[in-house]
Chains A and B, each alone.
Chain A
Amino acid sequence: MKLKLTLMTMTAAAAFMMSGATTAAAETTLETVQARGHLRCQVGPPSPGYYNLDAAGEWYGLDVSICRSVAAAIFGDATKLEIQSVSSQARFTALANGDSDMLSRTATMTMSRDTQLGLDFLPPNFYDGQGFTVRKDSGITNALQLKGAKVCVTSGTTTELNLTDFSRENDLGISNVTFDDYNVRDDTYLNGGCDAVTGDKSSMAGNIGSFPVPSDHMILPETLSKEPLAPAVRHGDSQWADIVRWSVYALINAEELGITQANVDDMRANSKNPNVLRMLGVEGNLHEGLGLGKDWAYDIIKSQGNYGEIYEKYMGHGEQGIGIDRAGSLNALWTDGGLMYSPPMR
């Protein structure tokens, strides 16, 4: 696995260096995107909550909404978008070689990725963390009771490494049962093949919801790792990075200011709050620095809603949501004790 990761890093790095050499004289990413007429936004193979296909063949999810927001900011039309689904082995290469304009997938922002792969990570749109799922009747209530347990885990990710670290650190002697596909992992757990499952808490919450009897299972309170999931762009085009960065911030800021998809027209016409007026392009010239139209933030909110609305729709309890409570989590607004915080837009 280690070898695979190293190889992957090397190809991505090589690709980045070569693309750097060939695109140095080229136009900016924004110009390329505008000339092409649509944004190419990279997601991964379907993953519940973040990016899924529905039965009608349309993409939906939290990360897809970020893609749509950026498309809306640039074109005023969230449908001028091509969603590319790329496997995790090829994700950074596909960004580096210019295939994708941006990456909005469950990529954990880490120092080595940010500094060595030719990527720029932007503000996280979801804070995740690794945890354990156990059966309620097992009597386990915290992770330190997992001494000698068999734990099901998907292979090839940091999840597996984190589990090993956790076991060593606390001298638990956990034995890993690894799987390629998390559906098989969950089936094995349900059939008694292991005592616990480890994975990102968000996706496990979704998976528990799909178990035959969800109330028989629970997620332990411990969090093994920090997983800030953030969009990323190619290193070296600051204007483009700014566009994606402030598109994310606009979603968070809109929630803070109480602007929603439903009231955005009303707010733009009648609000007295200068912060709202500046953001929606009625006053000031915030858009100029981005090189976008005056309505960029308005178009985002009008088509996607604010961060809270998107969260409820896909991660929360909406029709297509996977049912993760937001209150009290890291993903709440900073005013509610979470980490979602936007610098002032002025």
Chain B
Amino acid sequence: MAIITQQKTAERPAPISETSVLGWLRINLFSSSFNTILTLVMVFIVYLTISGVLAWGYLDATFVADKRRECYDFSLTGACWAGVIAWLDNIFYGRYPREELWRVNMGGLLLILWMIPLWISRVRGKILIGVSVIMFYPFLAGYLFTGGEKSWFMQFMVTGAFLAFFVNMANMLIGLTMNTSMDKFLLRLIGQSEAPDKTQRNILLGLVVLSFVIIFSVQSSWIVDGVSWTKWGGLFLTLVISGIGIASSLPLGIFLALGRRSKLPVVRVLSTGFIEVFRSVPLITVLFMATTMFPLFMPEGFFLNKLVQVIIAVVLFNACYMAEIVRAGLQAIPKGQFEGAHTIGLGYWGTMGLIIMPQALKHMIPNIVGNIIGLLKDTTLVSIIGLFDILGMLRSISKDVPWLGLHKEPLVFGAILFFLICFSMSKYSRHLEAKLSAGNKH
């Protein structure tokens, strides 16, 4: 006779041995005698490492001292972070005049503010924002950092930068609060949202010109002291060089890659030759050539400062690597895509710009970001040719008499700093990948 019950047996929790911490430990770490031994050995190694690092870096370390001898008086084995702390301004800003540091901070802050709308989905007109950053920000930042008298062109660009920045900020606020774009909002505000297109365009154009004139007259009295590029240094210089390097090597790389795949023989040969030559020499050689030999070939009186030479060298060098990455992406696009583009009547640039490049670049994001991270770290080579970038500054601490011989702590600090920057870049690239390939997960 079968025993049938209508009641469902009450749910019981999984056995303790499966769910508790102990259970997890037993299954994952102590499942056999071999694993147990392995676990214990690893725990011991981890303990040794952590306790050693902790003792050196924190427990025995000195954070407040005027010279290294005072650190030794406190502990002979601990780290001497006081030296790094005393040099923080040098590490971040180089020899930039101390009372002018706000300009560097302001430059960084402006860039971040400018870019924020790009990450907010409710803000409209992202392409315009991106273009405005690339077109105007370098001039505004360039003037902030170098200062001095403004040429007419510079005044023009600085005005443009301010205008673009203010519009961008207002656009973001309007987008966030009213979920519309700025031009529509303005037109509604003055009651012209129903006017014909042409009137609308004229009104907007008038507003732009008006605010341009106002800003122009205000900025012409805004003059900051000149600071020579020779005073730039530290993380600031590293970011300037790699920032310009990143921003210009990608577009340049795209053109080189297209050139290399071009059907026009001259373009193809030139692009290929350029890529192969620059890729076949070490960066340090390119840097040395740029700074010591280049001035010899130039006509007398022609003077390009060392920083510009270095930046050009870094850009050209990295553009070649970028070009090969982009080319790899182009190779991966099936022929059908090109043919499809042709059938809907797109020309060369239309095909490339609208169909091929977006796909190619998306595929290559990991490589591109990898290259960008490599570029950031490569820029430390400039410390060899006498620019005091972050590595140059970190190494100089051990030569400063109060901190003579202090070389481990600065390098550890630098390593942490680089890790933070590079890791956040790689995190961001993962995020970008996920966002862009949302449609075709496989």
Q: Report if A and B associate in a common complex.
A: yes
Chain A residues near B (Cβ < 8 Å): 11, 15, 18-19, 22-23, 26, 45-49, 52-58, 82, 84-87, 89-90, 93-94, 97-99, 181, 183-184, 186, 206-207, 209-213, 320-322
Smallest Cβ-Cβ distance to A321: which chain B residue: B401
Smallest Cβ-Cβ distance to A23: which chain B residue: B300
Smallest Cβ-Cβ distance to B404: which chain A residue: A210
Interchain CB contact (< 8 A) of A55 among B89, B94, B228: B89
| Shortest beta-carbon distance from A320 to chain B in Å | 5
Q: Label chain B's interface by main secondary structure.
A: helix
B386 at the interface (CB under 8 A from A): yes
Q: Mark out the residues of chain B between 276 and 303 whose CB falls within 8 Å of any chain A CB in the assembled complex.
A: 288, 291-293, 295-296, 300
Residues of B contacting A22 with CB < 8 Å?
A: 296, 300
Residues of A contacting B405 with CB < 8 Å?
A: 183, 186, 207, 210-211
Interchain CB contact (< 8 A) of A210 among B68, B388, B395: B68
B96 at the interface (CB under 8 A from A): yes
A87 CA / B90 CA spacing, docked (Å)? 20
- Verify B90–A57 contact, CB threshold 8 A: yes
B198 at the interface (CB under 8 A from A): no
Query: A97 and B300 in contact (CB under 8 A), knowing A55-B89, A183-B407, A322-B401?
Result: no
A94 CA / B291 CA spacing, docked (Å)? 9
- Verify A52–B300 contact, CB threshold 8 A: no
A212 CA / B69 CA spacing, docked (Å)? 8
- Verify B96–A209 contact, CB threshold 8 A: no
Smallest Cβ-Cβ distance to A18: which chain B residue: B296
6 new A-B pairs (CB below 8 Å) besides A26-B300, A55-B89? A11-B293, A18-B296, A45-B399, A58-B95, A97-B296, A322-B401
Residues of B contacting A85 with CB < 8 Å?
A: 386, 388
| Shortest beta-carbon distance from A103 to chain B in Å | 13
Residues of A contacting B392 with CB < 8 Å?
A: 45
Can you list 8 pairs linking A and B with CB atoms under 8 Å apart? Answer: A15-B296, A19-B296, A49-B401, A55-B87, A85-B386, A90-B386, A184-B407, A209-B404
B384 at the interface (CB under 8 A from A): yes
A47 CA / B404 CA spacing, docked (Å)? 10
- Verify B400–A54 contact, CB threshold 8 A: yes
Residues of B contacting A53 with CB < 8 Å?
A: 90, 95, 388, 393, 396, 399-400
- Verify A45–B386 contact, CB threshold 8 A: yes
- Verify B89–A57 contact, CB threshold 8 A: yes
A126 CA / B285 CA spacing, docked (Å)? 33
- Verify B296–A52 contact, CB threshold 8 A: no
- Verify A90–B296 contact, CB threshold 8 A: no
- Verify A57–B400 contact, CB threshold 8 A: no
Q: Mark out the residues of chain B between 91 and 143 whose CB falls within 8 Å of any chain A CB in the assembled complex.
A: 94-96, 98
- Verify B401–A320 contact, CB threshold 8 A: yes
Residues of A contacting B228 with CB < 8 Å?
A: 82
Query: A57 and B96 in contact (CB under 8 A), knowing A18-B296, A86-B386, A212-B72?
Result: yes
A53 CA / B86 CA spacing, docked (Å)? 12
| Shortest beta-carbon distance from B62 to chain A in Å | 13
B398 at the interface (CB under 8 A from A): yes
A211 CA / B404 CA spacing, docked (Å)? 9
A327 CA / B399 CA spacing, docked (Å)? 25
Interchain CB contact (< 8 A) of B292 among A46, A93, A209, A320: A93
- Verify B396–A87 contact, CB threshold 8 A: no
B192 at the interface (CB under 8 A from A): no
- Verify A97–B292 contact, CB threshold 8 A: yes
Residues of A contacting B402 with CB < 8 Å?
A: 55, 320
- Verify B90–A90 contact, CB threshold 8 A: no
B210 at the interface (CB under 8 A from A): no
A46 CA / B396 CA spacing, docked (Å)? 6
- Verify B385–A90 contact, CB threshold 8 A: yes
A47 CA / B231 CA spacing, docked (Å)? 19
Residues of A contacting B20 with CB < 8 Å?
A: none
A256 CA / B404 CA spacing, docked (Å)? 32
- Verify B90–A55 contact, CB threshold 8 A: yes
B76 at the interface (CB under 8 A from A): yes
- Verify B296–A87 contact, CB threshold 8 A: no
A277 CA / B76 CA spacing, docked (Å)? 54
- Verify B292–A52 contact, CB threshold 8 A: no
Q: Mark out the residues of chain B between 165 and 207 whose CB falls within 8 Å of any chain A CB in the assembled complex.
A: none
- Verify B95–A57 contact, CB threshold 8 A: yes
- Verify A47–B399 contact, CB threshold 8 A: yes
| Shortest beta-carbon distance from B413 to chain A in Å | 15
| Shortest beta-carbon distance from A133 to chain B in Å | 13
